[in-house]
Structure 1
Amino acid sequence: MLSGMLFIFAPLVVGYLFSIHNKNLLAKLNSATASLVYVILFLMGLSLASLDNLGDNLQLIIKYTAVFFLVIGCCNLAALPLVDKFLPLETDASHTKLPLSKMALESAKLILVVGGGLVIGVLLSFDLSWVDTASEWILFILLFFIGIQLRNSGLSLGQILLNKHGMVIASVIVVTSLVGGMIASFVLDISLFQGLAMASGFGWYSLAGILMGDAFGPVFGGASFLIELLRELISLVLIPMFIGRMPCTSIGYAGATAMDFTLPVIQTTGGVRCVPVAIVSGFILSLLVPVLMLFFVSLSH
């Protein structure tokens, strides 16, 4: 159990040891990481195609997605407004209109990649026994690249520890998400540790889907991917609407995406004061996704 966790977690740790100052090299690394995400999501689609009783399994994915998304979201939104109340954050909120549909389209591309793999796997009916092994090795490379990205994100430990808002928001998201995971595991009658692992995605849909798929199969992987993708899509709509009145809630609900994908929305509609809070909370949550998810996966076996 522990050896399996270390085997998967090791590439992330090794990657974190590399400090890179060459911006061109970092740009190429980011591009390679994005490409690997598309490849592994396509393989996820192929894995779904190889399932027996595909129709029943797709219904199960939708069921898991709906329950986890609603329960975790309710738990998050029940506690985050308390942060706004007791630890208010000043903003320079604006009413700038953003091309949210264009940003949502970027997320939709990921769904199309998974769907493309599913359709090709169903229509062509070729041998898919190699998919799991290929996904596992690509996952190791991806985790290595992600470790490098986290190390070179520009945040020092001091900057993280000194940003009280960012740390509190991240802590609230972690605690309430895990509570939601426990409730969802009871509702769905699955293992407690499976529920906790599913709840540890914090909005990082690509990595969450990949890790859960590798650990528990394509049904859990597909559901985890959709849960976290829905969080991002809902965040794109909610942030401009509520960041002026509830900035901590808006930043917190965005989860790990607050440091990258939803950061432009946060900056444009909430102002520059929200940016360091979003980056710190997003960074902490991004760092905890593989740590907590792999930990709970190891306990479930």
Structure 2
Amino acid sequence: MFSGMIFIFAPLVVGYLISISNNSRLDTINVITSNLIYVILALMGLSLAALDNLGQNLQVILKFTAVFFVCLSTANLAVLPLVDKFLPIKTDNTQKKLPLSSMALESMKLILVVGSGLVLGLALPFDLHWVDTASEWILFLLLFFIGIQLRNSGLTLRQILLNKHGMVIALVIITSSMIGGALAAYILDIDIYRGLAMASGFGWYSLAGILMGDAFGPVYGGASFMIELLRELIALVLIPLFIRTKPCTAIGYAGATAMDFTLPVIQTTGGVRCVPIAIVSGFILSVLVPVMMLFFVSLAS
């Protein structure tokens, strides 16, 4: 039952065992990882083009996206304010101007990559049966490099274990997301383990879409990608609005992106006190995305 999960998860573990102190090598790995994400998302678009009844499948993707996004967001935002109530954080009382438009534009590039792959697959008359195999091998390489990035993120196990706010926020996101995922699975009448796997993306749209697409096909992959991308875009709006009054809610809703993409917004609007919390919660969720998603994939029928 777990052989498929171990086979996919192994590159991540191997990568995590590699420690690199050379900054230039780490920069190179970061560039390669970013490029591999673009490549595999383009292949996702090609996979969508190879689907029979494409129009009907796109409707299913939009339906899954809407149901999961509403259920997950509602579950997260219903519980996160309790963390602010019982574990309050002091933030800076200054509000600064943010380049939100440029950050949102960066996210939209990924949608364009998937769309370009879809258009290319529809426009050019060539066989697309090789796409799934190519995506699988590139996924293994991507997970290997992600493992290296996580190992060399500069965050020690001691720092994680001693940050109470970060751990509590991550736990709340995980628990509430599982509830939201189970509810979405019930509404859509799909296997509950598929619903829990879909709920385990925690905002990491590229990896979530790739893993779900590899496990259940491009319909699930496309929906998972859109769900988590929507989370990030909404987080960019919510963080400046709530970071001063409900910092745990703002940081928590950002999910795994709190340690990277949305971190500049958190730091600029919430101050330096919020940075360690965001990094720890984002790091924990980032590590658990492939672990939990692949675990539920292995259980799904």
Task: Note whether the superposition's TM-score is higher than 0.5.
Answer: yes
Alignment of 1:118-129 (within 5 A): 118-129=118-129
1:84-163 to 2 correspondence within 5 Å? Answer: 84-163=84-163
The residue number in structure 2 matching 1:297 is 297
| Equivalent residue runs for 1:219-298 within 5 Å | 219-298=219-298
In 1, distance between residues paired with 2:93 and 2:213? Answer: 39
Following TM superposition, by how much is the alpha carbon of 1:94 offset from its aligned partner in structure 2, in angstroms? 2.2
- Alpha-carbon distance between aligned partners in 1 of 2:90 and 2:297, rounded to the nearest angstrom: 39
1:182 corresponds in structure 2 to: 182
Q: Tell me the SS of whatever aligns to 2:135.
A: helix
Q: Does the 8 Å CA contact 1:43/1:135 hold for their aligned counterparts? A: yes
Shift of 1:142: 0.3
- In structure 1, the residue matched to 2:66 is 66
C-alpha separation in 2, matches of 1:162 and 1:91: 20
Alpha-carbon distance in structure 1 between the residues aligned to 2:90 and 2:209: 35
User: 1:2: how far off?
Assistant: 1.2
Q: String of CA shifts for 1:177-211, please: whole Å, max 9, x gaps.
A: 01000000000000000000000000000000000
The CA distance in 1 between the partners of 2:197 and 2:2, in whole Å, is 16
Write the letter of the residue equivalent to 1:147: G
Q: Distance in 1 between matches of 2:198 and 2:67?
A: 11
Amino acid at match of 1:190: I
Deviation at 1:155, TM superposition (A): 0.7
Identity over the aligned pairs, expressed in percent? 76
The alpha-carbon deviation at position 92 of structure 1 amounts to: 1.0
| Structure 2 residue aligned with 1:211 | 211
Q: For the residues of structure 2 that align with 1:203 and 1:93, how far apart are their CA atoms?
A: 27
- SS at 1:18's partner residue? coil
Aligned residues: 301
Structure 1 residues 88-110: Cα deviation after superposition (integer angstroms, max 9, x where no partner): 01111421111101100000000
Cα deviation, residue 292, structure 1 = 0.1
SS in 1 for 2:89: coil
Cα drift, residue 126 of structure 1 = 1.2
The alignment partner of 1:96 has SS state of: coil
Q: Which residue of structure 1 aligns with residue 3 of structure 2? A: 3
Where structure 1 has 5 or more consecutive residues not aligned to the other structure, the ranges are none
How far apart, in 1, do the equivalents of 2:232 and 2:4 lie? Answer: 30
- The one-letter amino acid of 1:72's match is L
Answer yes or no: is 1:45 the counterpart of 2:45.
Answer: yes
Poorly superposed stretches of 4+, deviation over 2 Å: none
Is the 8 Å Cα contact of residues 93 and 243 (structure 1) preserved in structure 2? Answer: no
Alpha-carbon distance in structure 2 between the residues aligned to 1:250 and 1:93: 15
The aligned residue for residue 202 of structure 2 is: 202
Write out per-residue CA displacement over residues 193-246 of structure 1, whole angstroms, 9 at most, x where no aligned residue: 000000000000000000000000000000000000000000001100110000
Q: 1:18 and 1:7 mapped to 2: Cα distance?
A: 18
SS state of the match for residue 102, structure 2?
A: helix
Stretches of structure 2 lacking an aligned partner (at least 5 in a row)? none
Question: Which residue of structure 1 aligns with residue 28 of structure 2?
Answer: 28
Show the counterpart of 2:83.
83
The structural deviation recorded for 1:125 is: 2.6
- C-alpha distance in structure 2 between counterparts of 1:281 and 1:19, whole Å: 22
Measure the CA separation in 2 of the matches of 1:221 and 1:168. 29
User: Structure 1 CA distance, aligned partners of 2:220 and 2:140?
Assistant: 19
* Structure 1, 116-125 or 42-51: larger mean CA deviation: 116-125
The CA RMSD over aligned residues, in Å, is 0.5
Deviation of 1:153 (Å):
0.6
Aligned equivalents of 2:256, 2:191: Cα separation in 1:
25
CA contact (8 A) 1:201 1:208 kept: yes
| TM-score, normalisation: structure 1 | 0.99
